[in-house]
Chains A and B, each alone.
Chain A
Amino acid sequence: GENVEQHPSTLSVQEGDSAVIKCTYSDSASNYFPWYKQELGKRPQLIIDIRSNVGEKKDQRIAVTLNKTAKHFSLHITETQPEDSAVYFCAASWNEKLTFGTGTRLTIIP
């Protein structure tokens, strides 16, 4: 089955700076890579996703890049704000199911 590794597990960033979270996956058949944000005590919510036929996707302050050859993808958040503080999960789809990474706790320091 699919295995998704995510780094770092915790990340503290000064407000206004950028944050980068990286994930690698094991199954080259995976073709869909969403990122979910989970605020404390809340449900995970999709913030951005990318399909395997695209190398990069951007939505305002967040962007995701995908390197299929290396089997890794990254989340980039620019101009971070206090409301960006949360746990972020990457995921990869394989065989009709999503396998999630272990999560990154992002803290924005005011």
Chain B
Amino acid sequence: DTAVSQTPKYLVTQMGNDKSIKCEQNLGHDTMYWYKQDSKKFLKIMFSYNNKELIINETVPNRFSPKSPDKAHLNLHINSLELGDSAVYFCASSQNRGAWGNEQFFGPGTRLTVL
């Protein structure tokens, strides 16, 4: 009965490869997010979707492409992986798009290591 789940938990891959991370939430929330947490623990928003519609797209290389097939799922595909992409990627969800009083529930994270 995990609220926000991500797969895989760990991902080790070579530079130049393409990989995907999947996220699912069973909370009935409308809004989902992708965050990147680097080695210094900085948490930065990458993307946000509301009911399958992209609403936040931070300055992220276009090698990163999110996709939301339905409001319970938000996947992240990364092309041509680089060393600097190594980080922990967190998916999160919230009731709706307004940040006012809107708790975000985080998934367990996916630790991506690019060799």
Q: Which residues of A contact B (CB under 8 A)?
A: 31-32, 34, 38, 42-46, 49, 51, 87, 89, 93-94, 96-100, 102-103
Contacts and interface: CB of A to CB of B under 8 A. Distances in A.
The main secondary structure of chain B at its interface with chain A is loop
20 contacts: A32-B100, A32-B101, A34-B104, A42-B108, A43-B106, A44-B43, A49-B101, A49-B103, A87-B41, A96-B55, A96-B98, A97-B48, A98-B99, A99-B45, A100-B42, A102-B41, A102-B42, A103-B41, A103-B42, A103-B43
B101 A96 contact: no
A51 B102 CA distance: 10
Interface in B58-115: 90, 97-104, 106-109
Contacts of B27: none
Interface residues of B, number: 22
Contacts of A94: 99
B86 to A, nearest CB: 16
Contacts, number: 53
A51 B99 CA distance: 10
A102 B44 CA distance: 10
A98 B109 CA distance: 18
Interface of B: 40-45, 48, 55-56, 90, 97-104, 106-109
Most chain A beta-carbon contacts within 10 A, residue among B56, B90, B102: B102
A29 B48 CA distance: 20
Nearest to B106: A43
A103 B48 CA distance: 22
B100 A98 contact: no
A96 B56 CA distance: 8
Contacts of A100: 42-44
A31 B99 CA distance: 8
Q: 8 smallest A-B Cβ distances: which pairs? A: A93-B99, A43-B106, A100-B43, A103-B41, A32-B100, A46-B103, A44-B106, A97-B56
